[in-house]
Amino acid sequence: MDQHTGYVKVLVGGRGEKSGNRTLNRATDSPRQPGSSIKPLAAYGPALDTGAITLASAIDDSPYYYSSGQLVKNFTAGEYRGLMTVREAIYRSQNVPAVKVLTLITPQVGFNYLEKFGISTLVSPQKAINGSHDIVQPLALGGMTLGVTNIDMTAAYAAIANHGTYTKPVYYTAVYDYKGNLLLDNSSSETHTVLKEQTAWLLTSALESVITQGTGTSAALSNQPVAGKTGTTNNETDKWFCGFTPYYTASIWLGYDDNSKVLSKSISHTKIWQTIMSQIHEGLSTGEFTQPSGIVTAQVCSQSGKLAVAGLCDEDPRGSQVITEYFSADNVPTEECDTHVKVTICNDSGDIASAGCTNTSTRVYIKKSSSGTASDEESSYSAYDSSYAITDEKLSRLCSLHNGSNASAVKPGSQTTEASQAVTTPSNTAGTTAANNNGTNGNTSNTTGTSAAHNNNQSSSAAQNPTTASQNWNTAE
Ligand SMILES: [Zn+2]
Ligand SMILES: [Zn+2]
């Protein structure tokens, strides 16, 4: 499809020897489960468009449950990679972040966007089939009642390629009778806006990462940039690749009509797409996905998606987590990273050091809401970054071996800003107010019982704040 006009250039409804006329056309008439190829349309695109996320938003790829109580599994079961940016979640095609993002914007909003993208096989609750409809969390992963058709997916991706504007597929422009009289005029396209132009470009940028470093590397073309997304269903009965260049959009689906066989691993859907598209683009000059106005870059922390803090985000034990990302100018992070914390641990007890602890070590952790572990009947899982993470529960636990008076989590000489961030959360509860103001803006708090900390340049926020930690976080995803 030419995304600029909506003209369908080629449509292949099946392979092999032609056996009849007007037989099943798989490109237009076979709704199939889209798998992960739906993620940009149902979850990430809408969430970027509504400002709920940025490409840098950090989503915790850790064990997570649907509201039904069922564990969300990644493509590789048990592979939970921990905090990752939306861009990484897209190019690695991890499932948990997609479900979390759809849950954040609500399945209803995702459904509404799919309607705008022209997906014609959606099932609303009013038209539920055997109780099944598509306004559900698994929609994020392509768990749909009927599925989608190839032409609808192609037109939807063409809308991303066409700066966010959808064009209804055009199969012919005019029909004349034998005398040359115009019988049907189909030359004017039906179009409408789905995504803001900035959203479309940001999403395209992330979909380029799928090709350059993600699940779709085999789709790369030698003379054009490519953006796209893979999709594979649970039992590998359907494989999709939907993608576009600056010229054309194409989707490929592989599968058996009756799901009778599992697709051979040796068949590469991305390679087939690449083979077809490289022929189509032969001789065309190298195009580009033109950046619209209203896009800016910013240096942020990959573990929080917020502005990087020197001495924290660049001192992650795994290496600096400071990245540069593109943002819509109206949705640039303004808050500083509150995921990275510098914590002093008492080596004797393993708990947060108090003033009386002498054998301590200090390092930067990432603060997470839970331990990131889960189990099902088969195995137990934990996120890859769990050894770098510290929970609010742990942050609230002061060393009881040496817990003398006026405990402090911070060694003399440490910067107070780090101390504040080390053990507090951005909540509005008493106690954190003092910590947040300590040594920063001098905004004197009236909170009783915590004012002592203001005059104490060696912040004692750990001691005063142990109970507030878990109250106001776990909202980011
Ligand atoms: Zn950080
Ligand atoms: Zn101790």
Residue 246 has pLDDT above 60, yes or no: yes
Ligand nearest to the CA of 346: 2
Residue 60 has pLDDT above 50, yes or no: yes
pLDDT: is 249 or 429 the higher one? 249
pLDDT at 17: 87
Tell me what percent of the residues of the chain surpass a pLDDT of 90: 71
pLDDT at 376: 63
Residues 6+ apart with CB under 8 A from 393: 469, 470
Residues, Cβ < 5 Å to ion ligand 1: 301, 303-304, 313, 337, 340
Using alpha carbons, select from 44, 29, 18 the residue that is nearest to residue 104. 44
- Measured in Å, residue 337 CA sits from the centre of ligand 1 at 5
Residue 262 has pLDDT above 90, yes or no: no
SS3 (DSSP) at 322: strand
Ligand nearest to the CA of 315: 1
pLDDT at 379: 66
pLDDT in tens, 400-454: 998 754 444 444 444 333 333 334 333 333 333 333 333 333 333 333 333 333 3
pLDDT at 315: 97
Lowest mean pLDDT among 11-15, 50-54, 129-133, 135-139: 11-15
Cα–Cα distance for residue pair 298/325, rounded to 1 Å: 6
Q: Is 285 left (phi over 0), alpha (psi -120 to 50) or beta?
A: beta
Question: Any idea what the Cα angle at residue 274 is, between residues 269 and 280, rounded to 5°?
Answer: 130
pLDDT at 92: 96
Q: What is the number of other CB atoms lying within 10 angstroms of the CB of residue 195? A: 25
Ligand nearest to the CA of 403: 2
Instruction: For residue 362, give the H/E element and its range.
Output: strand 360-368
| pLDDT tier at 458, thresholds 50, 70, 90 | very low
Distances (CA, A) of 419 to 281, 432, 472: 57, 12, 19
Cα–Cα distance for residue pair 416/422, rounded to 1 Å: 9
Residue 212 has pLDDT above 70, yes or no: yes
Ligand nearest to the CA of 400: 2
Lowest mean pLDDT among 87-91, 146-150, 333-337, 372-376: 372-376
pLDDT at 375: 67
| pLDDT tier at 75, thresholds 50, 70, 90 | confident
120 phi/psi in degrees, rounded to 5 = -95, -5
pLDDT at 412: 41
Show the 3-state SS of 177-239: CCCCCEEEECCCCCEEECCCHHHHHHHHHHHHHHHHHCCCHHHCCCCCCCEEEEEECCCCCEE
Residue 471 has pLDDT above 50, yes or no: no
Residues, Cβ < 5 Å to ion ligand 2: 346, 348-349, 357, 399, 401-402
* DSSP-derived secondary structure for 126-185: GG-BTTB-S-SGGGGGT--SS-B-HHHHHHHHHHHHTTTEEE--BS-SEEE-TT--EEEE
For strand 227-232 and strand 82-85, is the pairing parallel, antiparallel, or unpaired? unpaired
pLDDT at 378: 62
Q: Is-contact 387 372, C-beta < 8 A?
A: no
Structure tokens at 360: 């301590």
Structure tokens at 167: 């064009």
Cα–Cα distance for residue pair 468/428, rounded to 1 Å: 9
Residue 228 has pLDDT above 90, yes or no: yes
Structure tokens at 185: 């005029």
Q: Is-contact 192 158, C-beta < 8 A?
A: no
Ligand nearest to the CA of 309: 1
Q: Is-contact 134 124, C-beta < 8 A?
A: yes
Lowest mean pLDDT among 107-116, 162-171, 342-351, 394-403: 394-403
Strand order in the sheet with 227-232: 227-232, 238-244, 249-255
pLDDT in tens, 76-125: 888 899 999 999 999 999 999 999 999 999 999 999 999 999 999 999 99
pLDDT at 372: 64
SS3 (DSSP) at 432: helix
Count helices and strands (H / E) in the chain.
13, 16
Q: How far apart are the first and last CA of the chain?
A: 36
SS3 (DSSP) at 273: helix
pLDDT at 95: 96
Q: What is the number of other CB atoms lying within 10 angstroms of the CB of residue 271? A: 13
Share the mean pLDDT of the chain. Answer: 85
pLDDT in tens, 299-344: 999 999 999 999 999 999 999 999 999 999 999 999 999 999 999 9
- Measured in Å, residue 45 CA sits from the centre of ligand 2 at 48
- Measured in Å, residue 451 CA sits from the centre of ligand 1 at 28
Instruction: For residue 86, give the H/E element and its range.
Output: helix 86-92
| pLDDT tier at 377, thresholds 50, 70, 90 | low
- Measured in Å, residue 454 CA sits from the centre of ligand 2 at 24
- Measured in Å, residue 128 CA sits from the centre of ligand 1 at 44
Residues 6+ apart with CB under 8 A from 206: 40, 44, 55, 86, 87, 90, 91
Q: 72: which DSSP letter?
A: P
pLDDT: is 433 or 22 the higher one? 22
> What Rg do the C-alpha atoms of the chain give, in angstroms?
26
Structure tokens at 403: 């817990």
SS3 (DSSP) at 106: coil
* 68-103 as b/e: b if 16+ CB within 10 A: eeeebbbbeeebbbbbbbbbbbbbbbbbbbbbbbbb
